Amino acid sequence: MIDTRLDLYPASTVPNGWPGLICRYADYLPVTDQTPIVTLHEGNTPLIPAIALSEKLGRNIKVLLKYDGLNPTGSFKDRGMTMAISKAKESGSEAVICASTGNTSAAAAAYAKRGGLKAFVLIPDGKIALGKLSQALIYGAEVIAIDGNFDQALEIVREMSEKFPITLVNSVNPYRLEGQKTAAFELVEAIGDAPDWLCIPMGNAGNITAYWMGFSQYYASGKSAKLPRMMGFQAAGSAPLVTGQVFDKPETIATAIRIGNPANWAKALKVREESGGAFHSVTDVEILAAYKFLAGEEGVFCEPASAASVAGLLKISDQIPSGATIVCVLTGNGIKDPDTAIACAESKLHKGVAPDITSVAKVMGF
């Protein structure tokens, strides 16, 4: 098995620093001493007590926010991409490809650049938040915008990877889920056990699958005494896992989960069954209300799709057991989608104020 001593890896130049997921969890990942580790020291993201939300729910319910928006490219995708790119490099691949609603493209581009690989990204034209598109471009990816949706883009890149010498790094790549499962390890280590519920947004359903993999692995290893109920939430305009029907034209303000035919559909249903969990949909109005609540009451700025986990929790709050410990996964950083933040903000931007203390004081109400 791979030696996880930091002095073996040039990327780990801080002896007592966080080494990244592969070094930290090598014993639980499909890596060897032949695996070239491509890392931006992802993981180890904060688990933030949601004080206002817990008080709102009452009944001694404790809610914690797993804020994966503080990964290097601003989303949970970095967890999977460090594994996917490392294994692609190990196999001799020189290029990677993905379809994306935004976050995957940013992570793929960054980690490919870090590993010396070429990245190609297919996106649905006009359906990706500006912050995410800017990331893919600045990292040097070749971005191809198609006149179609994410599901069509995924179909194309899957076929491309079968016909050409290029590695697919969407969540159908098993190494992606291997990396993403480490978030569950971090939760168990931070809490001391698995939570009672894990609330998570669902798009392509890779993340809920990966979390369950991680919880199950730690439970089997004796590192936790229980397994959580997995509670998945989708936007009402893009809810195939809730309705059981493909959405040919998914629509939601939560662009990261605007997916009408999830690649991990069967796996997600298995997670729901095995965990005794449930899937629900939330409207864009409910998502934006949770989005603003998190920023305005908790001081946590996530992207709209992330807020689906909190919107869902609030929607089914009457089902929460008293005294439960619940983790809501916040998958991406709010800076990813500045347009939505500006449109939703209730604070006023005061323009044209004269540059003197009297004018400024007047605006401030003094």
**Tell me: the pLDDT tens digits for 269-283?**
999 999 999 999 999
Same domain, 208 and 123: no
**Amino acid 120: pLDDT:** 97
Same domain, 91 and 181: no
Which residue, 80, 31, 328, is CA-closest to 210? 80
Same domain, 97 and 144: yes
Q: Which of these three, 153, 174, 195, is where a domain ends?
A: 174
**Amino acid 14: pLDDT:** 61
CA-CA distance, 169 to 85, in Å (whole number)? 8
Tell me: pLDDT of 195 over 80: yes
**Amino acid 348: pLDDT:** 86
Percent of the chain with pLDDT strictly greater than 70 = 96
DSSP annotation of 185 = H
* 38 assigned to some structural domain: no
Tell me: pLDDT of 10 over 80: no
**Does 236 appear as a known binding residue?**
no
**Does 170 appear as a known binding residue?**
no
Same domain, 121 and 259: no
CA-CA distance, 285 to 159, in Å (whole number)? 37
**What's the CATH number where 147 sits?**
3.40.50.1100
Which residue, 241, 231, 168, 221, is CA-closest to 198? 231
* 79 assigned to some structural domain: yes
Same domain, 251 and 319: yes
pLDDT confidence band for 214 (50 / 70 / 90): very high
**Does 333 appear as a known binding residue?**
no
**Does 244 appear as a known binding residue?**
no
**Does 206 appear as a known binding residue?**
yes
CA-CA distance, 331 to 71, in Å (whole number)? 10
* 284 assigned to some structural domain: yes
Which of 9 and 248 is assigned the larger pLDDT? Answer: 248
User: How would DSSP label each residue in 192-254?
Assistant: SS--SEEEEE-SSSHHHHHHHHHHHHHHHTTS-S---EEEEEEEGGG-HHHHSS--SS---S-
Which of 7 and 341 is assigned the larger pLDDT? Answer: 341
Cα distances from 234 to residues 124, 135, 197, 208, 255, in angstroms, run: 19, 25, 16, 12, 11
Instruction: List the domain range (segments joined by +) for residue 138.
Output: 75-174
What tens digit of pLDDT does each residue of 281-305 get? 999 999 999 999 999 999 999 999 9
**Does 264 appear as a known binding residue?**
no
**Amino acid 127: pLDDT:** 80
**Does 103 appear as a known binding residue?**
yes
Q: Show the tokens assigned to 345.
A: 């903000």
Same domain, 152 and 294: no
Residues 6+ apart with CB under 8 A from 226: 193, 194, 196, 219
State the average pLDDT for the chain. Answer: 94
* 12 assigned to some structural domain: no
What tens digit of pLDDT does each residue of 228-265 get? 999 999 999 999 999 999 999 999 999 999 999 999 99
CA-CA distance, 225 to 7, in Å (whole number)? 34
Same domain, 64 and 100: no
pLDDT confidence band for 5 (50 / 70 / 90): very low
Tell me: pLDDT of 109 over 80: yes
Same domain, 195 and 303: yes
Paired residues of 332 in beta bridges: 75
Same domain, 196 and 309: yes
Q: How many domains does the chain have?
A: 2
pLDDT confidence band for 15 (50 / 70 / 90): low
**Amino acid 190: pLDDT:** 98
Which residue, 151, 161, 153, is CA-closest to 205? 151
Classify the C-alpha dihedral 272-276-281-286 as positive or negative: negative
| Length of the chain counted residue by residue | 366
